[in-house]
Structures are given as C-alpha cells and as structure tokens.
Amino acid sequence: MNIFQKIVVAFVMATLSSAAFAVANPSYDDVRSAIENTLAKVEEANAALDSGVNNEAVVEMVTDARQLQKDIANNVLDVKRNQASNVLKQARTALQNNERQSAKESLTDALNRYKEIKQLYASTH
C-alpha cells in the first residue's frame, strides 16, 4: 500500500505542477500591441539617431525595443521576429562601437522588418 500512495502523490504533484506552469497563448490584441510598441520604439531610436542624440541614449532605446519584441508571441512570426531582433542587436553593437552610419542602416533595416511583421500579422488575423 505504501508504494501505491507514493505513486498517487507523485501523480498529483505532477498534475498540479504542470497546470501551474501552463502558459496561455497571447490574444490578438496582445500580439498586435507588442508589434506596435516595438515598431514605435525602433522609430524613436531611428529618429533619435537622425537628430544626433548621444549613442548611450539610442542604445537604451534599442535595448528597450529588443525587450518589447519578446512579447511578439506568434508561431508564424517567430522566425521573422528573431531575424529582426538580430538586426537590432547589430545596431546596438554598432552604436557601442561609435559606428553611427552602420547603426543607422541596421535601424532602418529593423524598422522595415517590423513593418513587414505588422503587415504579415494583420493579413493572417
């Protein structure tokens, strides 16, 4: 009987722990909002770079955009989101190395990629 109790306790604990860690899929509005917020932050960083804001401030904006893009949770968009995130990473690295022209090109590329993600998401929903 002791073995049976251990099996039941193990089963109950496994069931409870899996239910506690279940993650609900984000809603359409959550994903759309994440895309728009990320796009707005990339646009802000791009405008700041154009207006001559110091590199540290633009790096902060790019870092914020990379954090915001993590909320773009959609299987269809994951590959494109990861690619755009890598471009933001390149922009951040260029800014840290004081390569403003390279950073500008990367931010423009990232901006276009996030616009494409927004259009793709709108067309599939």
CA angle 124, 116, 68 (to 5 degrees): 95
Q: What is the pTM of this model?
A: 0.75
Please answer whether residues 72 and 34 qualify as being in contact, where contact means their C-beta atoms are separated by less than 8 angstroms.
Answer: yes
Segment 22-67, tens digit of pLDDT: 556 778 889 999 999 999 999 999 999 999 999 999 999 999 999 9
The CATH number covering residue 32 comes to 1.20.120.660
- Asked, for residue 1, whether it belongs to a domain, the answer is no
Closest C-alpha to 93, from 64, 65, 67, 55: 55
Segment 71-107, tens digit of pLDDT: 998 888 899 999 999 999 999 999 999 999 999 999 9
Radius of gyration of the chain (CA): 21
When divided into structural domains, the chain yields a total of: 1
If residue 74 lies in a helix (H) or strand (E), which one and from where to where?
none
- Asked, for residue 4, whether it belongs to a domain, the answer is no
Domain with 68 in it: 26-124
CA atoms within 13 A on the CB side of 38: 29
